[in-house]
Structures are given as structure tokens and as C-alpha cells.
Amino acid sequence: MTKMVGNWAGATASRMGVVFMKVLARLPLPFVRGLGSVLGALLYAVVVPRRRVAMRNLELCFPDWTSRQRRDVVRRHFTYFAQAWLDRSWLWHAHPDVTRKRIALTGAVDELAGKDATLVFAPHFVGMDAGWTAITQQVDRKFVGIYTKQANAVVDQWMLEGRNRFDSATPFGRADGVRGLVAALKRGEVMYLLPDMNFGPEESIFVPFYGVQAATVPSLSRFARLGGAKVVPVVTRLTPTGYEVHVHEAWPGFPTKDLAADTTMMNERLQGYIDGMPDQYWWVHKRFKTRPPGEPALY
């Protein structure tokens, strides 16, 4: 009985949260961003474990920085994190004209055109949802992405519908395997891949990330090779007026036959993107949680 009441209360709270986001979608962007600044400051003060994770990540990746530099970046990161979360309100519920106006798609956009098998490398910057929204709305192609099912059914449905609000997008669950994704690539659909997190030791290899060995899934190289696809990086930056989604030119000569070399290169390129806006990368994630055998824990 207690479990049933708890489930009901959780579902009710989640539904109220979705209603709140739908209402927030109608409000001016400066108000949404201001609310995000307040929420970010609160999270920085309250969510101490994640603040410590972010600080540790920066200590490992930027050892030459002072403690003050790291704290300043982490404070801004929490602000951007909260703002990007609240931006999902208008990304997923505002009129399509609003999303098109607030998201600028720039760079080598033609790389996403045509019918060539294309794999998008989308690093975990806070604006990653805006990047997906932009290309699925503004590029005339079919897109596929890997979706992780959420434990909360209400939140799961909300996120699934929001991320696939435009008809060009099709989600694949992580449990569905790779065969369908490879087939989609070969049909000319564009695959949106975010492989720069620590997904555990299974199928990961250790390659450097800012000079620290990091368990990294070599899926970018594998999918590119299996699907005969070019790799096009898409990097999203949160801006005062919305987002800039920058499409980079396809990486020449990628993939190779060397899985480790390809994955090392991916991390090297990623470092360059991060260096341009370190406060917007996903530092609250325990990127170095999985260690090579015999190495001590870093958190």
C-alpha cells in the first residue's frame, strides 16, 4: 500500500512538472533564463556531491588552473545546466517558429544534406537537446538517435515525445541492438551519437582524455565503419538569445582500421571543442569513474 501511494505521488508530481514546463514555454526567454540562473545558484549550493565531481573533473583536466578558476567555471556550469534544463520547456512545447527563431544552425550545414551515410558526433554540452531539435527541424532528412529509457514513466514519455516532436526523428532504445541503427545509416538516415560519457567497462577501451586514461566506448568508429558513414561533429553553444548549433566539416580519413587510434582522435577533437567553452561541458558526470586495472579511484 505504501509503495502504491508513493508511486501515485511520484507520478502526480511528475505530471505537475510537465504542466509547469508547458506553461514556462509561453514565457519570454529572459524570464526563463533568469529563473535558470536562480535555480543554478541553488543547485550549486545544495547539490554538493555533483559540485565536488565537477571540481574534481576540472582538477584532473586542467591541473594548471587555480582553485578559483575552477570554482568560477563550476558556478557558471551549474547556471548553464539549469538554464538548459528549463529551456526544454520551449524546445519541446513552444510553437515551431519559436524554436527556429531561437536556434541558429551555422557552419558546414551542407554536410548534413544529401543521402550519404552520416554520423553526427554530438558531445555532451548543456545544449545537446537544442542541437537535436535544430537539425531534426531544419534539415530535410531522416534522423535516428539512441534513447535511454527513464525509470519514471511520466518523465520517460515526456522526454521521448519532446525529443522526437518533429516527424524526421526516430528513437532507438539502447536494448534494441545495433543492427537497426546500421540499417538506418545505410538507408541514408543521419545518426545522432553522444559517445563521450563513461558507460562502464563493458565494451569500453581506455584512451586519454586531457591526459587521463578514460573508459570510452569506441562506438563512433564502429558505427562509421559498419555503416560506411562520414562523421560530422555538431557542437551546441548556449547563447543569450537561444543557441548556436555549429556544424563542423566531416573528419577526413575517419574511420581507420585502428579502433583505439580513432577513439583517441575523437577525444582530442573533443578537447578542442571544450577548450572553447569549458563552462558548458557536462562536468557533473563522473567521466573517470571506471579505472584501468590496478589504478586507484579518482572520486
What are the tens digits of pLDDT across the range 16-29?
A: 999 999 999 999 99
Output the pLDDT for position 160: 87
Predicted confidence (pLDDT) at residue 5 exceeds the cutoff of 50: no
Predicted confidence (pLDDT) at residue 173 exceeds the cutoff of 90: no
Output the pLDDT for position 7: 53
pTM reported for the whole predicted model? 0.92
Structure confidence by residue, pLDDT tens digits, 219-269: 999 999 999 999 999 999 999 999 999 999 999 999 999 999 999 999 999
Asked if residue 143 lies in contact with residue 116, where contact means CB atoms within 8 angstroms, the answer is: no
All cell numbers assigned to 187: 538507408
Q: How confident is the model at residue 151 (pLDDT cuts 50, 70, 90)?
A: confident
All cell numbers assigned to 294: 590496478
SS3 content of the chain, % helix, strand, coil (to 5): 50, 15, 30
Output the pLDDT for position 58: 98
Structure confidence by residue, pLDDT tens digits, 78-122: 999 999 999 999 999 999 999 999 999 999 999 999 999 999 999
The whole-angstrom distance between residue 110's C-alpha and the CA centroid of its chain comes to 22
